Amino acid sequence: MPSVSRLTKCASIIILVSTILFASLPVWAQDKVQLSVDASKPGPKIDRNLFGQFAEHLGYGVYEGIWVGPDSRIPNTRGIRNDVVAALKALKVPNVRWPGGCFADEYHWRKGIGARAVTLNPNWGGVIEPNTFGTHEFMDFIDQIGSQAYLSVNVGSGTPQEAAEWLEYLTASQPTTLVKERAANGHPAPYKIPLLGIGNESWDCGGNMTPEYYLRQLTIYSRFVRNYNPAQRDTDQMQKIAVGPGGGEARWTEWTETIMKAWEKRQWSWDMQGLSMHNYTVINWGNKFASVGFGEKEYAQILKETLKMEDLVTKHSAIMDKYDPQKKIALVVDEWGSWYAPSPGSNPGFLVQQNSIRDAILAALNLNIFARHADRVRGSNIAQMINVLQAMIMTDKEKMVLTPTYHVFKMYVPFQDATFIPVTFNAGTYTNGDITLPHVDAIAGKDTSGKLWLELTNVDPNNAVEIETSIAGLNVKSASGETLSAPKVDSVNTFDAPNAVTPKPASVKVQGGKLTIKLDPKSVTVISIS
Ligand code: AHR
């Protein structure tokens, strides 16, 4: 039996080879793509944690985006806005990473329980941090949306003792002083913490540490920051995620090497279950692209840039394979997404940007990369959930709008915990100036009830494409689904026109057991097949 990872790699190679084969064909010859799905060769599970979110105390991400306070005229439950909760529930968000980001390495949890301390947020605009949204409010929020906690503990400016006490406060059940304090603050039962990040970008905003220095911190925090929840002792054990690389250059490969090598030779007293990776889609940090009001050239440039995720994941997975051939350690891409220039008139420290159909395509391409590497990539968190960077949701006081990226995440819900099914297809090409990209991308998965799902992305902003699908061993009887497209490369949803970019029924034809799907230009389509 070939291994699962080999099959996945095989599928990627076929796509790559076909991309090269079709590179010289004119557009008319590419408007039909043959795609075959072989459900008899299932791959790994596409972990639902691949669809995680990230909510940092940054700009309007938490305050206004989630928290309006119980006295607000914006409808809320215990201070958490109801419209946002309803929208996020529909995404079945598997986990929310909190409280940062760079913020996490300056966060002191005691200031956010009981009587709150008013502090500052020096990373993000130097504004007042009221700490009204603290531990209990976060746990209430994830409970309201039906999600789980991915906490990042403070390694940069905190201590192992502070982090250990936070986890005791959250998870212990015996009547310690901290547990009594938690009960007095309204939560007698221990909380579940399934994911724990040990620091954030410790090579940069998290303390500018060398890999060796961070490794020492990791071994100490991993040893002492314990989860005491009896329900997580034998099953559902907390996964500890170490800080990982932030790019593909030598500095980052050395980081991954150092952590993984030490892990292979670890003693009983420490362990980790995941290594994080951060990678934003940004061109020119000093003069970033605009998030709206751009043309096809910038559309193509950004999508070319985002596809570098494939190389990065491949590179760091290969290092991890050397020390962990059994793939025990997950690669968790816990910050990714587009990073553009701040929207005009906004506070530059608040990282506010618009979200267009380009971001929807970008999201689909990245999610497909993660799915094709599902044997190693078992978590990801898009940055960020609300009002910050590539957000799902934007709010303006009582108003709320869902972004094109939100719709992609909603359409991908059936892929959560689905089994990866290999697809082969001639990707074709889309060219703009000196940029050539695959015309089409696709993944398939079988959901937990056994239903087959297909995702298709048409990268080309000008030409539709027809996908002729053959499914080994299945005489297709019916298929239906949704498609997300837009008239312009920079089409967005606004508070005045919230449904400019919204899913519509997909154009699907089933005839004689064969399935044909028409993809509009610049579109993301998800269909179920039976
Ligand atoms: O997401 C914004 C910031 O980007 C995060 O705080 C930090 O981890 C990264 O550099």
Q: Give 379's pLDDT tier (boundaries 50, 70, 90).
A: very high
Q: What angle separates helix 135-145 from helix 82-89, to the nearest 10 degrees? A: 50
Report which of 480, 469, 487 is spatially closest to residue 523, judged by C-alpha positions. Answer: 487
Q: How far is the CA of 206 from the centre of ligand 1 (A)?
A: 10
pTM: 0.94
Rounded CA separation 446/417 (Å)? 9
Rounded to 5°, angle at Cα 361 from 355 and 366: 105
Active site residue 455: no
Residue 440 neighbours by CB distance under 10 Å: 24
Closest ligand 1 atom to Cα of 56 = 6
Rounded CA separation 419/447 (Å)? 6
Any residues with Cβ below 6 Å from ligand 1, and which? Answer: 56, 100-102, 200-201, 205, 335, 383-384, 389
Query: Residue 14: in which H helix or E strand, if any?
Result: helix 4-21
- CA distances from residue 247 to 100, 213, 280 in whole angstroms, order as listed: 19, 19, 9
Report which of 81, 88, 82, 38 is spatially closest to residue 60, judged by C-alpha positions. Answer: 81
**Given the residues 64, 168, 335, 455, the one annotated as active site:** 335
Residue 481 neighbours by CB distance under 10 Å: 21
Active site residue 335: yes
Residue nearest (by alpha carbon) to ligand 1 atom 5: 101
Q: Which residue's structure tokens are 């620091």?
A: 199
pLDDT (tens digit per residue) in 391-433: 999 999 999 999 999 999 999 999 999 999 999 999 999 999 9
Q: Write down the pLDDT at residue 21.
A: 37
Residue nearest (by alpha carbon) to ligand 1 atom 4: 101
Q: Which two tokens stand for residue 372?
A: 């094709």
Residues 6+ apart with CB under 8 A from 232: 171, 192, 193, 194, 238
pLDDT (tens digit per residue) in 308-367: 999 999 999 999 999 999 999 999 999 999 999 999 999 999 999 999 999 999 999 999
Q: How far is the CA of 101 from the centre of ligand 1 (A)?
A: 5
DSSP assignment letter at 413: G
